[in-house]
C-alpha cells in the first residue's frame, strides 16, 4: 500500500515532502484534524493520467494530493475524492465543461512546473 505525507496547511509552493518507509498522505478531515489517506483507496482518492483534465480539476478547486512519477513517460495525478469530481472530469471529456481560459492555462503551467521540477 502506498502513502505520502504532506503538511497541507502550508501554501502549495512551501510544502515539503518527506519520504518514510511507506509513503503516506495526511489530510485534514472535517474537524481540521489529520488522518492518513492511502493513495490506492478509490473511496478516498481520484486518479488520472490526463494533463488537461487535471488542469481543469485544479481550476475548479479540487485538491491535488500527489503527482506520482513512477513511469518516466507518464505522471499519475492523485486527487482527494470530493463530491462531483468524476462529473466534472466527464464534462471535460464530453467537451461541455466551461472554464476561464486564463485560469486553465495558469493551472496547466503550474502543473507542468510541478511535474518537471523534481
**Averaged pLDDT of the chain:** 78
> What gap in Å lies between CA 63 and CA 15, rounded to an integer?
14
For the entire predicted model, the pTM comes to 0.68
CB 75 within 8 A of CB 68: yes
Average pLDDT for residues 37-54, to the nearest whole number?
A: 85
> Is residue 25, in this structure, part of any structural domain at all?
no
**pLDDT confidence of residue 42:** 74
> Is residue 17, in this structure, part of any structural domain at all?
no
Cβ within 8 Å of residue 76, ≥6 positions away: 47, 48, 49, 67, 68, 69, 70
Comparing 88 with 15, the larger pLDDT belongs to 88
Strand partners, 84: none
Domain residues for the domain of 91 are 41-117
Total domain count, the chain: 1
> Is residue 105, in this structure, part of any structural domain at all?
yes
> Is residue 77, in this structure, part of any structural domain at all?
yes
> Is residue 35, in this structure, part of any structural domain at all?
no
> Is residue 84, in this structure, part of any structural domain at all?
yes
Of the listed ranges 5-14, 52-61, 93-102, the least confidently predicted one is 5-14
> Is residue 8, in this structure, part of any structural domain at all?
no
Amino acid at each position: 500500500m502506498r502513502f505520502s505525507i504532506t503538511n497541507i496547511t502550508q501554501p502549495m509552493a512551501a510544502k515539503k515532502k518527506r519520504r518514510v518507509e511507506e509513503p503516506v498522505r495526511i489530510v485534514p478531515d472535517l474537524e481540521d484534524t489529520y488522518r492518513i489517506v492511502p493513495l490506492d483507496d478509490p473511496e478516498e482518492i481520484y486518479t488520472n493520467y490526463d494533463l488537461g483534465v487535471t488542469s481543469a480539476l485544479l481550476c475548479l478547486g479540487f485538491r491535488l494530493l500527489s503527482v506520482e512519477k513512477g513511469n518516466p513517460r507518464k505522471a499519475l495525478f492523485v486527487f482527494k475524492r470530493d463530491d462531483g469530481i468524476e462529473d466534472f472530469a466527464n464534462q471535460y471529456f464530453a467537451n461541455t465543461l466551461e472554464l476561464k481560459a486564463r485560469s486553465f492555462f495558469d493551472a496547466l503551467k503550474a502543473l507542468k512546473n510541478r511535474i518537471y521540477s523534481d
